[in-house]
Amino acid sequence: MKRRLLLIFIASILLFTGCSYIEHTKGADPNSDSIINETLTKDTDSVNKNTSPVPSKTNGVSPTDSSKDIENYEIKDADQDSVTIVKVHIIDVGQGDSILIQSDDHYMLIDAGERHKGELVINYLKSLGVKKLDYIIGTHPHSDHIGGLADVILSFDVDKIIMPNVVHTTKTFEDLLDAISDKSLKITKPIIGNEFSLGTASFVIISPNETDYDNLNNYSVGIKLTHGDNTFIFIGDAEVHSENEMLRNGIDLDADVLKLGHHGSTTSSSDSFLDAVTPDISIISAGEGNKYGHPHVETLQKHLDRDIKLFRTDKQGTIILDSDGKTITTNMIPYIITGVDLQFYKETANSYNDSDSSIINEDTISNDESEDSKNIIVHITRTGSKYHRAGCQHLKSDIEVTLQEALDKGLGPCKTCKPPTA
Ligand SMILES: [Zn+2]
Ligand SMILES: [Zn+2]
């Protein structure tokens, strides 16, 4: 009965918003895939640069299609099929992260944006009828992730809160700890491989893999969520260093959907990580016109190169993904990366400090060359004859050394990742 209510709810949302959900099936029958691609190609032509979050009626997905979706949902229900819908909401909180996962009437919230976004997140959850959160994950103590969490915790019943084992000396973080103790909650520390259930879905902890990092972002709690055949990875602000650890921890990273680390910065999304996850869909949560230049042009380019469908909260607002355990549908068409995007960010890229980046454009490489080779960190393997940038696909093992040390060992620059040479 509950399922029927949920389906009717989804159906009425579809009717109400007039949205047509777009299907994404990983490894689907090539014929049906090509139909989808055709639709999207047609969309490309008719959508202007300020991509509207809601597909217009002329973009190849007619209102008839959406009523067909609704029929399908109801047919599945009438057949007493065990289809349940898991919804993932990437809530637009400006520069920051906040993700709600809904499975039956169970809910998990990952982060809640900056402090002043707490109310927005609370209202969003209330509008969906959320009364209790089975889980809250505070990925790491930066304010654009945990800022809104104190107010959320004080507004809902919470079963479990998962946070990494690190403290931060900010008022925002202390207020979060106060809210946790006000509600007599105990913090659950993330342990790699630990599994939790959320309605018909489940998730496993994939990061952090160490206990001590220089950079708070690398403490980010990462999870892999599974619902039937559909899989999603969320990694907070985890950077290449943590991505490399995830690649080595033995958990299968292949997933349909990846919420990119660190708002699409070049400090995350290494080639080897993207190639291990091979997402069909990537999501960037960032604020429009943010001062960090997120997402970075290199990240956008990697998505173009790999033909990964990209969604961005800064351009498209709140993104909703529905998983029926086989197929993932979205409430809008993917963001279309234009030459304007790439040009704009190329022009501004040099003003952002991203010395950690795994892929750096030519201009930055020449800057590197003017630096002291004793200060430049490169990556080497145990036995290879080349040195690399962080995250290079050829790093079978990963040892950090200075460029000078690499040169002293007689190692040469990798031709794929083109690390600095002097
Ligand atoms: Zn962040
Ligand atoms: Zn952060």
Ligand closest in space to the Cα of 97? 1
Please, which residues have CB within 8 angstroms of residue 52's CB and are 6 or more apart in sequence?
none
Q: What is the largest CA-CA distance in the chain?
A: 71
The SS3 call for residue 294 is: coil
DSSP element (H, E) containing 344: helix 339-349
Taking the centre of ligand 2 as the mean of its atom positions, its distance from the CA of residue 357, in whole angstroms, is 15
pLDDT > 70: percent of the chain: 73
CA 131 / ligand 1 centre spacing (Å): 27
Measured in angstroms, how far is the CA atom of residue 349 from the centroid of ligand 2? 20
Indicate the pLDDT class of residue 404, thresholds 50, 70 and 90: confident
Q: How far is the CA of 371 from the centre of ligand 2 (A)?
A: 27
Ligand with the closest atom to the CA of 239:
2
Query: Mean pLDDT of all residues in the chain?
Result: 80
**Ligand nearest the Cα atom of residue 238:** 2
Per-residue pLDDT reduced to its tens digit, 277-308: 999 999 999 999 999 999 999 999 999 999 99
> Ligand 2 center to residue 315 CA distance, Å?
21
In which residue are the tokens 């979060």 written? 176
Q: Say if residues 286 and 263 touch (Cβ distance below 8 Å).
A: yes
Q: Pick the ligand that lies closest to the CA of residue 216.
A: 2
Compute, in angstroms, the gap from residue 144 CA to the centroid of ligand 1.
5
The span from the CA of 346 to the CA of 342, in Å, is: 6
How far does Cα 321 stand from its chain's mean position? Answer: 12
Q: How remote is the CA of residue 259 from the centroid of ligand 2, in Å?
A: 14
Distance CA 138, CA 153 (A): 11
List the 328-330 sheet strands across, edge first. 22-24, 328-330, 319-323, 86-90, 99-103, 106-110, 132-137, 157-162, 187-188
Q: How far is the CA of 184 from the centre of ligand 1 (A)?
A: 27
Mean pLDDT over 4-19 rounds to: 46
**Ligand 1 centroid to residue 385 C-alpha, Å:** 36
Residues 6+ apart with CB under 8 A from 388: 378, 379, 380, 381, 394, 395, 414, 416, 417, 419
**Which amino acid makes up residue 317?**
G
Whole-number pLDDT of residue 383? 84
Least confident segment among 17-26, 355-364, 368-377: 355-364
What is the CA(73)–ligand 1 centre distance, in A?
Answer: 36
pTM above 0.85, yes or no: no
CA–centroid distance for 364 within its chain: 26
Q: What is the whole-number distance in angstroms between the Cα of residue 31 and the centre of ligand 1?
A: 39
Distances (CA, A) of 170 to 155, 328, 351, 377: 22, 39, 27, 30
* Domains of the chain with bracketed CATH: 2-78 (no CATH), 86-348 (3.60.15.10), 360-413 (no CATH)
β strands within 180-253, DSSP E:
187-188, 195-198, 201-207, 222-227, 230-234
What 3-state class would DSSP assign to 46? Answer: helix
Measured in Å, residue 421 CA sits from the centre of ligand 1 at 32
